[in-house]
Amino acid sequence: MTTKIHAVVDALGNPLRFILTPGQASDFTQAEALIDDLPAEHVLGDKGYDSKALRDAITEQGAEAVIPPRSTSPQVPCDFALYCERNLIERFFLKIKHFRRIATRYEQTSRAFLSMLYLVGTFIWIR
């Protein structure tokens, strides 16, 4: 069984929310659920999250979307200096891979795997 971890981190790289989906699921399908009711001034995402619906959802929450446009979509402005801070989510995923149970996915069920993710997230918050 393959799963995909969708995560949100704060401005310091600490985890705020996790969602698990099947491995073939698109990142975009969980984007609105990830940011729902999270206080933020800016929401950063990669080109995979570029859509008008998501941008509108971010604006409705009172935040600014910092998502570079795809080459095939209408070009919208993007603060690339702020976009560079997206490396925090990449570094977060590198941190959780240091935990062997997450990297090798020992858990048989999604529920157990999500529990381990929350435990690892707690360790990251404590550091």
Q: What are the structural domains of the chain? A: 3-126 (3.30.420.10)
Length of the chain: 127
Non-local CB neighbours of 123 within 8 Å, separated by 6+ positions = 99
pTM for the full model? 0.85
Q: What pLDDT band is residue 1 in, cutting at 50, 70 and 90?
A: low
pLDDT in tens, 2-59: 888 999 999 999 999 999 988 887 777 888 888 888 898 999 988 888 888 899 999 9
Q: Longest C-alpha distance within the chain, in Å?
A: 44
Alpha carbons 63 and 41: distance in angstroms, whole number: 5
Name the residue among 41, 40, 35 with its Cα closest to residue 17. 35
